[in-house]
Structure 1
Amino acid sequence: MLNSSFPHSSTDDIGDDSLFARIATDLNRQGFSVIPNALPEALAAQLLNQVLNMNSEDFAHAGVGRHTDLTLNQFVRRDGIHWIEGQTSAEQLWLAWTHRLQQYLNRRLFLGLFSYESHFARYLPGDFYRKHLDAFRGEANRRLSTVAYLNPGWLPDDGGELVIYEQDPEQEITQVTPAYGTLVVFLSEEFPHEVLTAKRQRYSIAGWFRVNGSSNDRVDPPS
């Protein structure tokens, strides 16, 4: 599905290298990767600690669309979000870790990933996100989507699964339980997906690796 190469990694963390290699292989083979217990424990623990200590006012109602087209639509999604900008040590660790993933995937798959944006997402009981695409072909610069889960002790009856679909013909591929440490990575333009209704409070980090969509009169993504 993707052009691939297999250079020797310069990453010092052998555990990360092994994980990143598995993600790259999955993306090349099928366009998505689902790996339980993927997040390094120290990183996951710090992210969980931060999100559990955030207040309700730290989360804004999530919208649909971008920039001037951004609207609130609770028939489509009801989660709350908090953008990750490196303001805490946990956020800095997360951004450093995803930057290493970005570098690895660029070397291995020649994806041209240019930047990364992400936010915490909080789903209260009853919250959901209807089926959608993260990017439309030729209309956006999101190349890869990522979702990391921060929910210890999540049970099957707790709901909140991520459902990933084939685009053409549209049919379900897999359901992902939002269990602590699980990481999902998929091609943003290729896979419609939705979050089923959560029955208990649910935390995740949603993120997007983007390519450079700048033109002569427009910088995208902005610096």
Structure 2
Amino acid sequence: MDWGWIGRNLDLIGGRVLEHVALTAPPIVIGLVLSIPLGYWASRSRVARSILLVLGNIVYTIPAIALLVLVPVLLGGAILDPVNLVIALTLYALALMVRSAADAFAAVPHDVVSSATSIGYSAWQRFFAVELPLAGPVLLAGIRVVSVSTVSLASVGALTGIENLGSFFIDAFQRQFLTEALVGIVAVLVVAAVFDVVLQLLGRLLMPWNRRNRRAAENPALLRTPPIGGVA
């Protein structure tokens, strides 16, 4: 490990980290937002589920390099445009998240949905107040997997000239310089870990009921109703 090279290139490393984050954060967010209505639709229709999941499997099996070349051909853009990588990563994220979203909404208890309907909730009220919150934990688990996958896949963009942490791997191979490859690997792992921590914190902030349920599962005594007057 050449620590001197690392010290001399901190600005370069920091810049590549920021480039990597800028390329990976939008696909994660867009994939989640688009997967919610598609996953909900898939959970309500067997035909839609079959079609969407098959399409997702097909998209995810397309090699990353091939997709990066295909996107600018279809859209008419420049092959070195970073937008191509964002679009490709969004397609991969959506392919993974639609299945997770469909499973999340399918797991919502039918009795709860029926109860919400019987007390007068409209379809929109039932979705936002009942179904989406109950599907939240599974959605969170799915987006965490997508986050790690997206951060890793983004490195492939360096093969088409899109600057990010993957550029360290290309340079290291060309120069036979192991330090640069190790820096790239560690940086990708750190970015993935930071994304995962951020998603966990957002999950705790937006879904406090999930934290209470987890504590109750770990300590069943919390589920017991306190005796009247405090007498056991």
TM-score (norm 2): 0.23
TM-score (norm 1): 0.24
Which structure shows the bigger proportion of residues in helix conformation?
A: 2
For the pair shown, which has the larger CA radius of gyration, 1 or 2?
Answer: 2
